[in-house]
Chains A and B, each alone.
Chain A
Amino acid sequence: MRCAMSDYLVRRVQHLFWVLLAVSILVFLLIHLSGDPVRLLAPLDATPEDVERIRALYGLDQPLIVQYWRFLLNALQGDLGESFRYNQPALGMVLQKLPATIRLALFSLALTIVLGIPLGVWAGTRPNSAGDWVVSVLTFVGISIPSFWLGIMLILIFADRWRVLPSSGDATWRHMILPGITLSVYSIGLISRLVRSTLIETMQQDYVRTARAKGLPERLVLYRHALRNTMIPTVTVLGLQLGGLLGGSVVVESVFAWPGVGWLMLQGIQNRDLPLVRAVVLVIGLAFVIINFAVDLIYTRLDPRIRLDK
């Protein structure tokens, strides 16, 4: 048992290594995908000599593999280069905006748990009823509408017409309500649909029938037996959704001018500030990878049957 677990850990860490390698190569290449990176740096009227000087200054005259090696060494020391536009270390700028993004993602995750799970349980305990149907339709719409549009509609109604909630910025907790709802509607829909279908399946299991047969009240059957097993896939998807919420923040942050990393990335894109974009991608990528890793470990804790089977 112990051995299987440590075997599993070794494989997961190996996997982590490959993913990080891939992310670093991608992030490195990003700056070269745009054609000649020097053109982004040099002023439009630069002489060919100037261009060559800039090329040499940034080490862009070296072979790609040498450039990558240097990038990797610097990145491992926390140096992701300077923003073209602000001449500040790109990593510092990203880390400064990261808390706002995490705050929004955690708030959305909390909304997903508090609303999505009860909704799914409620619908799953009365399958094919009118209430179940209403929840189904709502969650279906929830996973189908574009988040940026939902955000704009919320702004139109709550900020523009009724003027009850602020539409942009992050000054108070009330600023978090609209972006939080916008970001979490998709995962609320996803989670409640998952909980509903898993619960319906679980309620047909033998051990649920046994629990009922021994006269256990329905409430206890649900909470003590069925729900626990429903939570295994739910926790996994919730964990993955946290990564998704981080990724989805680019769109939502731009709608609500929420000053997080997504918003920073868009600034970087608009200014053709590729080192900044690169730093955001690397940080979010790392966060995503670490969250996935953690979810995997939690999953094995919850359900000992699961191992990385090959």
Chain B
Amino acid sequence: MTATNPASSNRSASSLAARAVGPAAQSSPTDALRRSRRMVQRPAQFWVGLAIILFILVVAVFAEQLAPHDYTKQTLTMAMRPPAWMEGGDWSYPLGTDRLGRDLLSRLMVGARVSTAVGVFSVLLGGAIGIVLGMTAGYFGGWADRIITRLMDIQLSFPPVFLAIAIIAALGQSLTNLIVVLGLVSWVQYARVTRGQTLSLRGQEFVLAAQAIGVGTGRLLLRHLLPSVLPPLAVIATVNMSAMILNEAALSFLGLGVQPPTPAWGSMVAEGRAVMSVAWWNAVFPGAAIALFVIGGNLMGDGLTRRRR
């Protein structure tokens, strides 16, 4: 990745950007070839993980179309029906019903929305904060670096879930608060890697060349450095998404997540727990859904880190 003139550095930077953004972005045929070879080299667990994540994303987006019932519709005569394959079960309620006679499968599908929304947006927020602070620290150095490094150390000295619980308890419960708080407690990992990358790139020729022809600082950071900073963050983002989904589920379980009637997997486990001894499926399936989602993310992250072996 060495480039001697600004024009070529620009090109190589944008190809890196294309790599980071994915197949949708513009790129030359050789880039595409190289990329497809690399894709094939990824271990199987990456693909399994990706399939799980995509499956849950599709379910979340089309939840209302896919769900067999209205997730809010209560049919008290159908309360606590067991899953279809058990005695007393009924295929119109494949996974059974809760104590209000709501279809569990439909609620699970709609509940996927909270998990995916929190997973995706809190990672984006945490990533954005981390990239901005990490680049600032790495590129400008000096007192900015000292303050930001100090902030990172402080943030790392506190258990994130605990912090999230405390802040949400004070702020109040909502989807926005969940995303903001989880984003705010997770920026450090991105900032660390970004800072390190920026530091090591700062002295490279393509950056010096860009500086020499008078490229403005903002443009330099955005067009020249950012594309090289993004790829290593992908692994962190994938694994972090799993962590965020787990955190959201825990907060929802404690009653600090999205409020009823909107279903979230964590709060469904809490509701299911109350009727567990007579209707175990209400507690088991939502938790299994969380586990599946997290396993998907972790498999993907694992696959990404093992790419080069």
Contact across chains for B287 and A153 when beta carbons are under 8 A apart? yes
Contact across chains for A251 and B154 when beta carbons are under 8 A apart? no
Q: Please report the C-alpha to C-alpha distance between residue A146 and residue B297 in the assembled complex, in whole angstroms.
A: 14
Contacts of B166 in A (CB 8 A): 26, 30, 265, 277, 281
CB of A202 within 8 Å of the partner chain: no
Contact across chains for A146 and B266 when beta carbons are under 8 A apart? yes
Within 8 A of A (CB), among B244-259: 246, 249-250, 253-256
Which residue of the partner chain B has the closest CB to A285? B158
Contact across chains for A146 and B246 when beta carbons are under 8 A apart? yes
Which residue of the partner chain A has the closest CB to B155? A22
With A149-B290, A156-B280, A281-B166 in contact, is A251–B254 under 8 Å at CB? yes
Q: Please report the C-alpha to C-alpha distance between residue A4 and residue B291 in the assembled complex, in whole angstroms.
A: 47
Binary flags per residue of A26-39, CB closer than 8 Å to B gives 1, else 0: 10001101100000
Q: Please report the C-alpha to C-alpha distance between residue A303 and residue B36 in the assembled complex, in whole angstroms.
A: 43
Contact across chains for B291 and A144 when beta carbons are under 8 A apart? yes
Contacts of B170 in A (CB 8 A): 30-31, 33-34, 274, 277
Contact across chains for B254 and A34 when beta carbons are under 8 A apart? no
Contacts of A277 in B (CB 8 A): 166, 169-170
Q: Please report the C-alpha to C-alpha distance between residue A217 and residue B287 in the assembled complex, in whole angstroms.
A: 47
Contacts of B154 in A (CB 8 A): 18-19, 22
With A15-B153, A160-B276 in contact, is A250–B162 under 8 Å at CB? yes
Contact across chains for B276 and A156 when beta carbons are under 8 A apart? yes
CB of B161 within 8 Å of the partner chain: yes
Q: How far is the CB of B257 from chain A (nearest CB, A)?
A: 12
CB of A248 within 8 Å of the partner chain: yes
CB of A235 within 8 Å of the partner chain: no
Within 8 A of A (CB), among B156-181: 157-163, 165-167, 169-172
Q: Please report the C-alpha to C-alpha distance between residue A23 and residue B172 in the assembled complex, in whole angstroms.
A: 20
Contacts of A250 in B (CB 8 A): 161-162, 165, 254
Contact across chains for B283 and A156 when beta carbons are under 8 A apart? yes
Q: Please report the C-alpha to C-alpha distance between residue A19 and residue B154 in the assembled complex, in whole angstroms.
A: 5
Q: Please report the C-alpha to C-alpha distance between residue A247 and residue B302 in the assembled complex, in whole angstroms.
A: 26
CB of B122 within 8 Å of the partner chain: no
Chain B CB within 10 Å — which of A23, A144, A248, A277 has the most? A144
Q: Of B161, B165, B256, B294, which one neighbours A145 at CB under 8 angstroms?
A: B294
Q: How far is the CB of A273 from chain B (nearest CB, A)?
A: 10
Q: Please report the C-alpha to C-alpha distance between residue A144 and residue B289 in the assembled complex, in whole angstroms.
A: 11
Contact across chains for B250 and A148 when beta carbons are under 8 A apart? yes
Within 8 A of B (CB), among A18-63: 18-19, 22-23, 26, 30-31, 33-34
Contacts of B158 in A (CB 8 A): 19, 23, 285, 288-289
Contact across chains for A152 and B291 when beta carbons are under 8 A apart? no
Contacts of B161 in A (CB 8 A): 247-248, 250-251
Contact across chains for A34 and B172 when beta carbons are under 8 A apart? yes
CB of A98 within 8 Å of the partner chain: no
Q: How far is the CB of A129 from chain B (nearest CB, A)?
A: 18
Contact across chains for A266 and B298 when beta carbons are under 8 A apart? no
Q: Of A144, A251, A270, which one neighbours B242 at CB under 8 angstroms?
A: A144
Which residue of the partner chain B has the closest CB to A310? B149
With A266-B254, A269-B256, A281-B166 in contact, is A152–B287 under 8 Å at CB? yes
Contacts of B169 in A (CB 8 A): 265, 268-269, 274, 277
CB of A140 within 8 Å of the partner chain: yes
Contacts of A147 in B (CB 8 A): 250
Binary flags per residue of A5-24, CB closer than 8 Å to B gives 1, else 0: 00000000001001100110
Which residue of the partner chain A has the closest CB to B297? A144
- A interface residues, Cβ below 8 angstroms from B: 15, 18-19, 22-23, 26, 30-31, 33-34, 140-141, 143-149, 152-153, 155-156, 160, 243-244, 246-248, 250-251, 254, 265-266, 268-270, 274, 277, 281, 284-285, 288-289, 292
With A156-B276, A265-B169 given, can you name 12 additional A-B contacts, CB distance below 8 Å?
Answer: A18-B150, A31-B170, A146-B266, A146-B287, A149-B287, A156-B280, A243-B159, A247-B159, A248-B161, A265-B166, A269-B256, A270-B255
In the complex, 12 of the A-B residue pairs with CB atoms within 8 angstroms, ordered by the A residue number, are: A34-B170, A146-B246, A146-B250, A148-B249, A148-B253, A149-B288, A152-B276, A247-B162, A254-B253, A265-B169, A269-B165, A281-B166
